[in-house]
Chain A
């Protein structure tokens, strides 16, 4: 059980959550502001990059992934990579059809 203790005892302070929440709001503001500017083809990339950063904040801090065992981190990593592989394979198919 000893390797599980780190999570059981970890209490995230309100301040940390408030900071993350402010960061998320700022990133939302940036996405909306940036959407008005036409960067051409990279516009969608910028939007998705910001969404990915927001998700990372939610996953690590709000969902406590930062304080979980390595097992949890590997699980999430594998799940995300699997989804990315789906996207790459799908587009590889569509682009070269």
Chain B
């Protein structure tokens, strides 16, 4: 062990920290998993309505947001390598890039939802309630699942922001970066959820 050279013994368990983060991610799997199960059953019950309703969604918005999230996963992964190699500034730049990409994801989401709200397609709206029940269910799931995912993106922005500050002040550094790893793990999970949301909602399959 190389730690504790110039300080008193500081208890640190990176292995335990990462395991704790993974355990937390499993609870997220159950949270979103339950919603995916609801989606699966209703899709099974209303195949035609789900197909028609999916045409309402803009594939381009979904595809662009997929590319944005995949790229943000790349930048946060690279920021860990940069910090491990003791390149603090590069690591901070990559973390900042991740936050900017996350914000652009939310901006897209704002325009996408905004357009739908604009022409009266939102939960509980008259236009939606006039549709067959299968389509109402599709849009209910669409707003719930992409909304909950969007909330995770916002939390991710705050999480990475806090870690950026800690890297900046030197609390997280080249030999103590487990917090950055945890932020990365969280961010990749948000990416994986989107990997499934995109085809299930935006592609007419």
B partners with A: yes
Tell me how far the C-beta of B175 lies from the nearest C-beta in chain A, rounded to whole angstroms.
Answer: 9
Q: Which residues of A contact B14 (CB under 8 A)?
A: 4, 8
Decide: B67 and A17 in contact? CB cutoff 8 A.
Answer: no
List the B side residues contacting A96 at CB < 8 Å.
none
Residues of B within 8 Å of A11, CB to CB, are: 81, 84-85
**Does A83 contact B196, Cβ atoms closer than 8 Å?**
no
B33 at the binding interface (Cβ < 8 Å)? yes
Of the listed stretches B72-80, B122-130, B144-152, name the one at the interface; the rest are far from the partner chain: B72-80
With a CB–CB cut-off of 8 A, which chain A residues contact B205?
Answer: 35, 43-44, 46-47
B199 adjacent to A58 (CB under 8 Å):
no
Q: Which interface class (under 10, 10 to 19, 20 to 34, 35 or more) fits B? A: 35 or more
Tally A-B pairs: CB < 8 A: 111
The listed residue (A28, A75, A91) touching B66 by CB distance below 8 A is A28
Q: Does B71 contact A (CB under 8 A)?
A: yes
Contacts of A90 in B (CB 8 A): 37, 40-41
Flag if A51 contacts B33 (CB, 8 Å): no
Chain A residues with Cβ under 8 A from B22's Cβ? 72, 75-76
Contact between B1 and A51, CB atoms less than 8 A apart: no
Q: How large is the interface on A (under 10, 10 to 19, 20 to 34, 35 or more residues)?
A: 35 or more
A12:B185 contact, CB within 8 angstroms: no
C-alpha spacing A11/B82, complex, angstroms: 9
Query: CB-CB contacts of B164-205 with A at 8 A, as 1s and 0s?
Result: 000000000000000001001100100110011011100111
B70 & A21 in contact (Cβ 8 Å cutoff): yes
Which residues of the other chain, B, contact A48 by a CB distance below 8 angstroms? 196, 199
Of all chain A residues, which has the CB nearest B23? A75
Q: Looking at the complex, which one of A4, A14, A75 makes contact with B78 (CB distance below 8 Å)?
A: A14
Question: Which residues 41-97 in A have Cβ within 8 Å of B in the complex?
Answer: 43-44, 46-48, 50-51, 54-55, 58-59, 61-64, 68-69, 71-72, 75-76, 79-80, 83, 86-87, 90-91, 94
Per the bound structure, the CA–CA distance linking A68 and B195 in Å amounts to 23
> Closest 8 interchain pairs by CB?
A35-B203, A47-B199, A21-B74, A79-B26, A11-B84, A43-B205, A62-B77, A24-B70
Interface residues, chain B, with chain A CB atoms under 8 Å away? 1, 14-15, 18-19, 22-23, 26, 29-30, 33, 37, 40-41, 44-45, 59, 63, 66-67, 70-71, 73-74, 77-78, 80-81, 84-85, 181, 184-185, 188, 191-192, 195-196, 198-200, 203-205
> Could you pull out 16 A-B pairs where Cβ atoms are within 8 angstroms?
A13-B81, A14-B78, A17-B78, A24-B70, A28-B63, A32-B203, A35-B199, A35-B205, A47-B203, A47-B205, A55-B196, A58-B73, A61-B77, A63-B185, A64-B181, A79-B29
